[in-house]
Amino acid sequence: MSRKQIEKTLHSTSFSLLLTGTILATTSMTNVFAADTDDASATTLQIDEIIVTSRKISENLQEVPIAVSVHTGDALSRQGLTNIAEIGDLIPNMEFDSISPINGSSATPNINIRGIGTTDFLLTIDPSVGVYLDGVYVARSVGGLFDLLDVERIEVLRGPQGTLFGRNTIGGAVQIISKKPNEEFRFMAEATTGTDNRRDFRASISGALSEKLFASLSLSSKQRDGYGRRLNYFDKFPELEAPIAGITIFDESKGYAGISAQPPANQQPGNENKRSARLNVVFEPTEVFSLSLSADYSWSDETSPPFVLLDVFSDDLSAPTPGVANPITGNEFKPNIVALHQMFGFAAGTVPYDKRFIIGDNYSTYGNGPGNSKSEIWGISATADWEISPQVNLKSITAYREIDALFGKDPDHSPFTLDAHTNDYTQNQFSQEFQLTGFALDDKLKWLLGAYYFKEKGRDRVIVPLLHGLVLLDEANDIRNNAWAAFGQGTYDLTEQTSLTMGLRYTAENKKYAATHVDRGPANALGSPTTLADGSKVLLVGNAEKQFKNASPYVSISHRWSDDVMTYGSFSQGFKSGGFTGRTTAYIPDQKPIPFNEEKATTFELGFKSTLFDNRVRLNGAFFTTNYTDLQVTVQEGVAPVTANAGKARINGAEFEMVAVVSEGLNINATIGLLDAKYIEKPSQIGNNLVNAPRATFNLGFDYTAELGNDGYALVLRGDYTHKSTVYNNSENTALLTQPAVGLVNASLTLEAPDERWTITLGGRNLTDETYLITGFFQPGVGYTEGVFSRPREWYLTGKVNF
């Protein structure tokens, strides 16, 4: 039997066992639960209550009329998950890629919920899913791959959250909530080894400093070797190496003006090398007032993700069309590398750039250009909570965050400097939020009023050498953004069973963008904007400013049929801010930045929340339809990705989540996500399918605890199967960047000491060794397609102590 047949058999067997076990458990639930009804011990076989803050106040998950998934930090730890991107496999209708398709950063996630997301990372383009760290909005995706360090829980809200969370949450919101210190002393230390020389260490300590002062400190270190390979093409064909006459070779190791993103010595693509720390201090001087101070810091010095070359092709050369302002209309500038080699004879006596650089093993590249990913990120926040009276509470959240990152990429994957880019990226933000909550009308009305202010500035300087340095683009992009909002929401109990919720948020935003894009290559020694023969300006130089205003309403009505079953219907809207195309690209009138407008999503949703069989089964579901208008479509237009409002879509779907305590020691969980995402209007350049919107996703898992005698020791077996249907990784639906349906199997076995004083876990991820595409980039203007694939099968061994 071949290796592929063995893997296929293992894959099918694993899924069949999981599915069969779940079906048997589900079909026998009624009998099992009935048998346990009269048993006094049955009261211990119940699902824990989960408290969420999805509506800015603490509520039972089952009483919140919103599609929200919750995973506690302890549950994530049992599954061996260590960073936020890994929760994507557990959430229905969620795609959480840990890598951006366009830049070389190893910590720039792309999040899509219900088919809505963003694939670009520019400062001038906002994300579609908001990420919140202890209530603080994290504005940029760069550096957003947070480690799960001393986490209380993660909440994932699906659908537009425009009323309570504001702009840039049209897909949804992800809340990361840290464990807060209290009078209880806690200590945890954990060490992990595994595939690719993995060396992870985590520790946390928490407790009381005095009667009214509490603190916690968490530290993390993660290291592992890369799973990609950089190969030297001329080691294979030394007789072919030769300089190109008359061309100044750009030295990528030195970079330009001191900016270089060469990979660390002796490190292969896709490695990990990061440190994280988080400090929380809580001061409770009285019973009605508390002040929480939080600080987090992360540092990384890694290689870029292991992108590989998938295709090289020649395309027609073309120049911009004067007078065409909309870049999505087909106005292109293509300095196709392959065609230029052929036209100017760059290949004469040397090595031409063609398909010979496609290695084909999914993990290797001949690229020797930029390949580093460095970042230093920190943030501080202060949360004051004051109970003004038994009926009124005031909360203030003040925060500041800062990013300093340097990352690069060699997307042509050849030993030549044909197309490369390095980003020197900085950003800082300040935010202030006030929330006033309370009860009125004999507690029939639960209300919230709020105000929000946000300010950020940033710079992304991009160095792009092309054609061996003949063209050396130096692109400085500066932003200054301000936004403020006022919002309110109220829930009124029409009857003891029926509640009506209404809310509204008004947002005003001002964005300023300054671009200075010049060519410092020998072909344009003066550094002035390049002028084509027809007078069109290729480079971007100028300032732009644009305002955005929006009112986002929310209405829902919920009815509790019994203590265990609630249904709801809701209407919600949200918007994602507009911005500017911040790259040197196709024809740019007067060299000025081209703006694009905000996009909007309107969702109608019907859902239910149920707790069944004496609180042993939690089954929640939602059905929704979303009208998605003024889509900010990112397509390859000439030499660079361009964003413009160019589409409408309708997204229909459904989601189901179940957790069940089947019997003593046996728990199962399952999620199903279904999507039907279709364009109603679209430009001809893009495909028929939305990016990162698979038609079906589901996750099936179990954990079984077997007691070892009467001494308190136990073995815990955990298994998970995740399936995703076909995923289109770019707007053009490029065939090479389309990932067919794939299923993944993860499992672990844990030995637990009494009271979990210590645990030892042996686990494996991607046990069937599936090779699947995470993301990729199609570059017709230059002439290549590249992609990055998943890690192969891996194992890990973790030791943990708790006090």
The tens digit of pLDDT for each residue in 11-54 reads: 444 444 444 444 444 444 555 555 555 554 555 689 989 999 99
As a whole number, mean pLDDT of residues 346-360 equals: 71
Q: Write the burial class of residue 784 (CB in 10 Å: 0-12 exposed, 13-18 middle, 19+ buried).
A: buried
Residue 639 pLDDT > 50:
yes
Q: Which residue has the higher pLDDT, 518 or 359?
A: 359
Sort strands 541-560 and 498-519 into parallel, antiparallel or unpaired: antiparallel
Give the pLDDT band (50/70/90) at residue 415: confident
Tokens of 772: 């699947």
What are the two backbone dihedrals, phi and then psi, of residue 244, each rounded to the nearest 5 degrees?
A: -100, 115
Strand spans (E) along 179-326:
186-194, 198-208, 213-224, 229-230, 272-286, 289-303, 307-312
As a whole number, mean pLDDT of residues 352-358 equals: 82
Q: What is the pLDDT of residue 467?
A: 73
Sort strands 172-178 and 151-158 into parallel, antiparallel or unpaired: antiparallel
Mean pLDDT lowest among 447-456, 651-660, 730-739:
730-739
DSSP state letters, 599-619: EEEEEEEEEEEEEETTTTEEE
What is the torsional sign of CA 500, 608, 153, 401? negative
Q: What is the pLDDT of residue 27?
A: 45
Instruction: Write out pLDDT tens, residues 233-282.
Output: 877 766 565 544 444 556 666 776 667 777 776 778 999 999 999 999 99
Give the pLDDT band (50/70/90) at residue 734: very high
pLDDT above 70: percentage of residues in the chain: 83
**Topology, domain 3-802:** Maltoporin; Chain A (2.40.170)
Residue 112 CA to residue 117 CA, distance in Å, equals 4
> Going edge to edge, which strands form the sheet with 116-117?
94-97, 110-113, 116-117
Mean pLDDT rounded to a whole number for the chain: 86
| Nearest CA-CA partner of 128 in 116, 139, 114 | 116
Query: In the block, which residue shows the tokens 């679209």?
Result: 682
Q: What is the pLDDT of residue 537?
A: 44
Residue 80 pLDDT > 80:
yes
Residue 426 pLDDT > 90:
yes
Q: What is the pLDDT of residue 469?
A: 72
Q: What is the pLDDT of residue 520?
A: 77
649 contacts 114 by C-beta, under 8 angstroms = no
646 contacts 682 by C-beta, under 8 angstroms = yes
What is the torsional sign of CA 773, 775, 779, 784? negative
In three-state secondary structure terms, 73 is helix
Residue 500 pLDDT > 80:
yes
Instruction: Write out pLDDT tens, residues 53-74.
Output: 999 999 999 999 999 999 999 9
As a whole number, mean pLDDT of residues 395-417 equals: 92
Tokens of 265: 């010595």
Mean pLDDT lowest among 349-353, 440-444, 726-730, 763-767:
349-353
526 contacts 519 by C-beta, under 8 angstroms = no
Residue 33 CA to residue 582 CA, distance in Å, equals 60
Give the pLDDT band (50/70/90) at residue 479: very high
Mean pLDDT lowest among 191-195, 541-545, 756-760:
541-545
Q: What is the pLDDT of residue 387?
A: 97
Tokens of 153: 């829980």
Instruction: Compute how many other C-beta atoms are within 10 angstroms of the C-beta atom of residue 251.
Output: 12
22 contacts 670 by C-beta, under 8 angstroms = yes
Mean pLDDT lowest among 281-285, 589-593, 727-731, 749-753:
589-593
Tokens of 723: 């399936």
Q: What is the pLDDT of residue 39?
A: 53
Q: What is the pLDDT of residue 349?
A: 47
Residue 475 pLDDT > 70:
yes
The amino acid present at 228, given as its one-letter code, is: G
Tokens of 152: 């209380």
206 contacts 186 by C-beta, under 8 angstroms = yes
725 Cβ neighbours under 8 A, 6+ residues apart: 694, 695, 696, 697, 741
Q: What is the pLDDT of residue 692?
A: 95
Q: What is the pLDDT of residue 478?
A: 96
Q: How far apart are the first and last CA of the chain?
A: 50
Residue 434 CA to residue 466 CA, distance in Å, equals 49
Q: What is the pLDDT of residue 278?
A: 97
pLDDT above 90: percentage of residues in the chain: 64
Mean pLDDT lowest among 237-241, 291-295, 305-309:
237-241
Mean pLDDT lowest among 222-226, 273-277, 682-686, 688-692:
682-686
Residue 775 CA to residue 764 CA, distance in Å, equals 23
